[in-house]
Amino acid sequence: MPKGYIIGHIRVTDPEGYPEYVQKDTPILEAHGARFIVRGGRSETPEGEEMGRHVVIEFDSYEKAREAYFDPEYQAVADIRRACAESTIILVEGAE
């Protein structure tokens, strides 16, 4: 079965408020089996719009990724991210 991923491209607009989101989202996502593959770090954007921060979270399946993202507890915490950043969040199934 292919893995599932949540991919985030994020432009932080409130660097003082954003760490609260990171602190609170981690235990919720990890309870769904999340493994953080990429979480910030050095990057460059040779094509397209630069967002500044990139996150790749792996789950055992696409369905598990969806469950994590749509968990009401996570969505409440995601409101912090929405207030502190512009984001594109993608749910995607990996290759087999």
**pLDDT by residue, tens only, the chain of 96 residues:** 899 999 999 999 999 999 999 999 999 999 999 999 999 899 999 999 999 999 999 999 999 999 999 999 999 999 999 999 999 999 999 998
Residue 74 has a pLDDT of: 98
Query: What domains can you pick out in the chain, each with its CATH number?
Result: 4-93 (3.30.70.100)
CA distance linking residue 58 with residue 26, whole number of Å: 13
What pTM, to 2 d.p., does this model score?
A: 0.93
CA distance linking residue 37 with residue 82, whole number of Å: 22
Let me know: does 33 contact 64? Beta carbons within 8 Å: yes
Three-state SS for 46? Answer: coil
CA distance linking residue 59 with residue 94, whole number of Å: 10
Residue 65 has a pLDDT of: 98
Nearest to 75 by CA among 64, 85, 67: 67
Nearest to 21 by CA among 89, 92, 85: 85
Question: What's the angle, vertex CA 23, arms to CA 17 and CA 24, rounded to 5?
Answer: 95
Residue 3 has a pLDDT of: 98
Residue 96 has a pLDDT of: 81
